[in-house]
Amino acid sequence: MSQLIPNSSESLLEGLNPQQRKAVEHRGRGLLIVAGAGSGKTRVLTHRIAHFLSNRELWPSQVLAITFTNKAASEMRERVEALVGETAEGMWIKTFHSTCLQILRRESDHLSQDSNFTVYDSSDSRALIKRLMREAGVEDTDLKPQQIQAAISNAKNELKDAEDFSSTADKSNPRNRVIAEIYYAYTEELTRNNAFDFDDLIAQTVGLLRAFPEIRQKYQKRFRHILVDEYQDTNHAQYALIRELTRPLPEGYENFHPQTGEVLPSVGLTVVGDSDQSIYAFRGADIRNITEFERDFPGAETILLEQNYRSTQNILSAANAVISQNFDRPAKNLWTDAGSGELLTLFTGYDERNEAAFVVDRINEMQQQGVNLNEIAILYRTNALTPPVENELKSQRIAYQVIGGLKFYERKEIKDALAYLVAISNPRDDEAVRRILNTPARGIGAKTELKIAQLARSEDLSFQQALLKTSELGLGPKLTSAIETFTELLASLRDQLEIEQPAKILEQVLSGSGYKTQLENSRDPQDEARVENLDALIGQIYDYQAQNPEGSLTDYLADVTLASAQDDLDEESGLVSLMTLHTAKGLEYPVVFLIGLEQGTLPHVRAFDEPGGLAEERRLMYVGMTRAKQKLVLSCALTRTLFGSQQSMMASSFLGDIPEELIDTVGERRGGSAPKPVSRWQGAITTPSQLRDNDDLQLVAGDRIHHDSFGEGQVIEVNGNPPRQTAEIRFDSGQIKKLMVKVAPIRVLK
């Protein structure tokens, strides 16, 4: 093994501070590393893994490292590979959900689902629940599909199945009766469709480990040390998973050392986390998992990491001042030797537009000073705060990305394409087949779909199997022919699974179904973008194949489902990043704007009615502040438009926790008479970038033009009159674009 490890045991300790070194070298059954924000926890984890390998204490295949996001898992893997080389390939460095997915696929013989089961994402689950509500006649109640979905998700995170939920719920509450009814139906449908939802992956794995000691024995023999990142964010099901993988095995199932024959000790466990960054209670995260770790794992040791390598001292002192107001927290005080740095900026705007103008003008200033846009993040408590900021960014032509909004894989055309792939991979998935039955339009309406569904139910068939028997329904030759053509298409594509890779199959789907052709022939400009999105999807699948040569279509579909909001982040794009504070967890930026800091927003109004709510909101503020490396700008507004009317706002109480000597205050003063409204912040750049004006430009069909982004092309058609005149242009790249002549960055070629 030593030949495979490029770094010696001692070299792995170089450059670590005393506490980090202590954490890397610690040996024992349990270790809790309390890692403050920016304290180098990933470095400690990766060096700890490499140290085990370098000392020949573990084989790579005996290591399981668990994270919460694909982004974090990728970063950890890259760092471990840099330390141990190709040896890292033998490790499991995965998210909770991908770890459980792999276990469930391997142990599918013990499940009601086949190994090629589909994993439903949130939108798939919600669509199924909506249909079940309609069929149960409860869609007109006050309950929304997303509310039932949340209730089912919470139950599964507490390891309560439909029966458990029904037996413990208050039946006098009609809402609970409806949820229980839908939960039963939802569970049955998932089984019929050979599918699990996101929450099932963990809950089913825990159930498997509890029901079959031999399976728990198998994985405890495989994984001799488990490392868990962000342990403060674990919910009950995730906590139970770790417990099952590490607790002593029952008599008769012990694992023995292959050389000595001695009973192997319990699996080692290292968890990393910070109770000050526990912000996911709404998702079931239980802060007690970390605060009571030593009770749960007797003999475990706790090591505190307080030296910060991310932020300046002024930022850390301000964040410490905010979080110190929370009671019953382990004493911790972040510090750095990187110097004091700039003071924090606090801006108070007259209204939300005034606040947005200030933020964007400051970004303009920073850009002129050489700051790259991808070094800037705008963070907020809720998505409702973004429209004024987005409008201002657009007006000043500053490129940005919203992380955690409508993701690529949630767009209709992408969901449609993936539904075809699911229907091919998992013929039992009724929801996927029903989605694409009339996509593109085949003349198969909702009434026909319902008849087919009823036939499937009556004969205990999958929806796809029922399609083969529709001749019995007397639908008429035209409908019957359309259904036959559809089923033949699916069958021919399924035949390609063994010989073609996923990207080729998707290309055949899009051409064979007529879906892409329909979009290409459309005059709707949005359909042009949809074609581009489908081309991007094909490209992404080709990339997946290159990185996972052995990956199947089923594997790819699972990876898509397990993607998180942070996976949408393009750090090389040159775009300002906008995201909620929850999404920003684990990220860092040289410059951070934290906006909307008013009572009722942060802390959120709901926090005042929930036990521990205010403490969690303060932790959320702390997380936001500690994302900043060099500059932190805080902002609020005197008034904000809420529910269609302008309302006076109070500054967040959290701002009062920050010592005045750490803040440079700008903007409107509180108290006294309100100043007159202004459209822009009076004190920064007062004029937006000049818009292009092509008023004198005359285009006719046949003109050759040059576009700053798309290159050269030829005018096909000109419509309308200035200033709203548009031109349809076919570029030499093959793209056809419809542009507004007045403002488009174009010029006529001689």
Q: pLDDT tens across 169-195, in order?
A: 887 788 899 999 999 999 999 999 999
Adjacent-strand bridge partners of 197? 120
Mean of pLDDT values over 335-348: 93
**Secondary structure string (H, E, C) spanning 336-372:** CCCCCCCCEEEEEECCHHHHHHHHHHHHHHHHHCCCC
Residues recognised as catalytic: 41-42, 229-230, 277, 627
pLDDT at 80 over 80: yes
Model pLDDT, residue 290: 84
Q: What is the largest CA-CA distance in the chain?
A: 89
Cα–Cα distance between 572 and 121 in angstroms, integer? 27
Q: What angle do CA 77, 68, 630 make, to 5 degrees?
A: 80
Binning pLDDT at 50, 70 and 90, where does residue 32 land?
Answer: very high
Tokens of 267: 């699996």
Query: H/E element holding 150?
Result: helix 145-157
528 pLDDT band, cuts 50/70/90, is confident
Whether the per-residue pLDDT at 526 is higher than 80: the answer is: no
Q: Per-residue pLDDT averaged across 490-497, rounded?
A: 89
When mean pLDDT is compared across 88-97, 354-363, 679-688, the lowest value belongs to 679-688
Q: Is pLDDT at 328 greater than 80 in this prediction?
A: no
Under the banding of pLDDT at 50, 70 and 90, the label for residue 679 is very low
Q: Residue 1: is its pLDDT beyond 80?
A: no
Phi, psi of 382 (to 5 degrees): -135, 155
Closest CA to 438 of 382, 513, 511, 375: 513
Output the pTM of the full model: 0.75
- Which position has the token pair 């509500």? 133
User: What are the C-alpha distances in Å from 601 to residues 465, 594, 595, 618, 718?
Assistant: 51, 12, 10, 12, 48
